[in-house]
């Protein structure tokens, strides 16, 4: 787990640096992005008692992964010792695994912590993982996949508006899910393999 956490921290730093070379010193409110994602997660959970809706577990887990992107960014800004941070995250994830909160309660607990502290609680996030039935292995696989997709988007014109998000009648996230499921997550080249598979599938000229 420690190695996986360190890998995710390194990849998040690289992604943020790609978007803004001096991202650590910009004062971005990562905690705000995290709690807003909590609200989006609750929407997928179907909190509206006045309107019928079935919880979308896949979208809920994707929101948890998005929250993790912002949470790690906040943690990296708050602590320069990456090895010490990784060890602290491992400890806090273990401490926050137990609990009997519902999904909505866990999302509210994390959002409340973000708002009260203007930072990010790994223990509260672990509670949300448990409530959404997201294992650490799933978190790692889904995070690596989404991180690579974000790099891929940037490399293929996302900022300029020329990126093709839908091809073959499906969104890039859907293609990503198939790719990640077919690859060996334990491989040291997993991230590179995901990127290469996206490159092979992506239409370079016009959407299909």
Domain ranges of the chain: 2-134, 139-201
Provide CATH code, domain 2-134. 1.10.4010.10
Using the 8-state DSSP alphabet, how is residue 189 labeled? Answer: T
pLDDT tens digits along 170-185: 889 889 988 988 998 8
**What pLDDT does 187 receive?**
86
Q: Give the Å distances, CA to CA, from 98 to 50, 125, 127, 128.
A: 31, 12, 7, 10
Q: How far apart are CA 152 and CA 11, in angstroms?
A: 13
Look up the pTM and report it: 0.85
Q: Under 8 Å CB-to-CB from 151, ≥6 apart: which residues?
A: 14, 15, 18, 195
pLDDT tens digits along 122-171: 999 999 999 999 999 999 999 999 999 999 998 998 888 899 999 889 88
In what helix (H) or strand (E) does residue 171 lie, and over which residues does it extend? Answer: strand 170-171
Q: How far apart are CA 34 and CA 89, in angstroms?
A: 17
pLDDT at residue 208 tops 60: no
């Amino acid at each position: 787990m420690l190695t996986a956490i360190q890998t995710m921290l390194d990849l998040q730093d690289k992604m943020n640096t790609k978007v803004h070379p001096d991202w650590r010193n910009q004062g971005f409110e990562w905690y705000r992005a995290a709690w807003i994602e909590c609200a989006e997660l609750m929407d997928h959970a179907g909190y509206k008692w006045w309107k019928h809706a079935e919880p979308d577990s896949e979208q809920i887990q994707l929101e948890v992964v998005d929250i993790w992107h912002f949470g790690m960014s906040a943690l990296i800004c708050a602590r320069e010792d990456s090895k010490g941070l990784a060890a602290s995250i491992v400890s806090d994830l273990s401490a926050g695994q137990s609990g009997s909160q519902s999904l909505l309660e866990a999302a509210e607990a994390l959002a409340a912590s973000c708002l009260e502290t203007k930072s990010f609680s790994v223990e509260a996030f672990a509670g949300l993982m448990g409530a959404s039935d997201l294992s650490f292995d799933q978190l790692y696989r889904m995070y690596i996949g989404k991180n690579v997709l974000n790099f891929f988007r940037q490399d293929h014109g996302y900022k300029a508006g020329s990126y093709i998000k839908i091809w073959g009648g499906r969104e890039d996230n859907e293609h990503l899910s198939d790719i990640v499921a077919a690859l060996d997550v334990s491989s040291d080249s997993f991230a590179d393999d995901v990127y290469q598979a996206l490159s092979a599938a992506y239409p370079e000229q016009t959407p299909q």
